[in-house]
């Protein structure tokens, strides 16, 4: 919705996926950590990786330590190329990764848990169990709300659009 208003948005998860396929540093580090099956013909085997890391907190932390610094560097380079009054960094684990510390303000977008689960299942074509395993590695909204500067409720489209327009006007 912010992008539709002209705001440059950095989609951290999408960029991380691209970097996991394009960065030799990430590829070699992930292969060393998780094994040869991590890549099939140079393309990340996301299912294999997810099955390994989302059920092993230590592996998840090591994987994040490989990926997050590369994404952070990419983000800082991207920000330097923007000339809008503000930019957004969209990230599922903004707090967990510590990258919220690089942001001037934080907008938490939240919805009831069941809605979030259904949306991810539809978007990623995964099972409820796979979504819940991911969510176990994320902070609860109650903890995120304490660090957020703004909170947008994303359960009813019309209300969310109105909240986004109002916040955009405020930020401009």
The pair of three-digit structure tokens given for residue 139, joined into one six-digit string: 């902070």
Percentage of the chain beyond pLDDT 90 is 84
Collapsed DSSP state (helix, strand, coil) of residue 20: helix
Alpha carbons 48 and 42: distance in angstroms, whole number? 14
Phi-psi domain of 98 (left: phi exceeds 0; alpha: psi -120 through 50; beta: other):
left
Confidence band for 143, pLDDT divided at 50, 70 and 90: very high
Instruction: Note the pLDDT of residue 90.
Output: 96
Alpha carbons 95 and 146: distance in angstroms, whole number? 11
Cβ neighbours of residue 145 closer than 8 Å, sequence gap 6 or more = 108, 110, 151
The pair of three-digit structure tokens given for residue 6, joined into one six-digit string: 């002209």
In total, the chain counts a number of residues equal to: 172
Q: Residues 72-131: pLDDT tens digits?
A: 999 999 999 999 999 999 998 899 888 999 899 999 999 999 999 999 999 999 999 999
Strands 43-44 and 39-40: antiparallel
Instruction: Note the pLDDT of residue 97.
Output: 86
DSSP β-bridge partners for residue 14: none
CATH number at residue 97: 3.40.50.300
Look up the pTM and report it: 0.84
pLDDT of residue 144 exceeding 90, the answer is yes
Q: Residues 11-34: pLDDT tens digits?
A: 999 999 999 999 999 999 999 999
Alpha carbons 125 and 55: distance in angstroms, whole number? 19
Domain total of the chain: 1
Alpha carbons 83 and 155: distance in angstroms, whole number? 31
Residue numbers of the domain that contains 102: 3-171
């Amino acid at each position: 919705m912010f992008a539709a208003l002209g705001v440059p948005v950095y989609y951290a998860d999408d960029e991380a996926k691209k970097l996991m396929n394009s960065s030799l540093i990430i590829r070699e580090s992930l292969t060393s950590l998780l094994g040869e099956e991590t890549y099939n013909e140079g393309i990340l085997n996301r299912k294999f990786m997810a099955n390994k890391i989302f059920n092993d907190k230590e592996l998840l932390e090591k994987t994040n330590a490989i990926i997050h610094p590369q994404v952070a560097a990419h983000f800082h380079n991207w920000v330097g190329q923007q000339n809008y009054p503000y930019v957004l960094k969209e990230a599922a684990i903004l707090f967990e990764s510590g990258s919220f510390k690089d942001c001037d303000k934080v907008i938490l977008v939240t919805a009831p848990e069941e809605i979030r689960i259904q949306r991810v299942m539809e978007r990623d074509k995964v099972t409820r169990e796979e979504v819940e395993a991911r969510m176990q590695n994320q902070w609860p909204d109650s903890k995120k709300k304490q660090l957020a500067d703004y909170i947008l409720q994303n359960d009813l489209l019309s209300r969310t659009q109105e909240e986004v327009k109002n916040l955009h006007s405020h930020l401009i």
